[in-house]
Amino acid sequence: MGSLGPAVSVSKTNDGVAAVGVQHQQQKSERGTLISCSFWMPLHYPRYKKEDYEAMPEWRVDCPLREYGLPVAGDVDDKRRFAMGAFLWPDQ
């Protein structure tokens, strides 16, 4: 019997952050083998405003970027711009 879809799980990471995970199982079909993959996303979307990002110290800007697996490279201004682009809605 085939899978009805991806398996969804909720877990807590070592640093206490809850995350939602989607895992696809490996399946064989007449067209070949599907590769298994997984995707993890934190449950809580960052709720900061533009002013919050502009005033945050660098270590604090790094936190949501790391939680979402986004690159944490460049100086603090680069990181702030990247975080604001990734997490703020256009009207914010």
- Stretch 47-75: mean pLDDT: 91
Give pLDDT, residue 29.
58
- C-alpha 19/C-alpha 55 separation (Å) is 27
Name the pLDDT band for 75 (thresholds 50, 70, 90): very high
Strand partners, 24: 37
Residue 22 contacts residue 8 (beta carbons within 8 Å) = yes
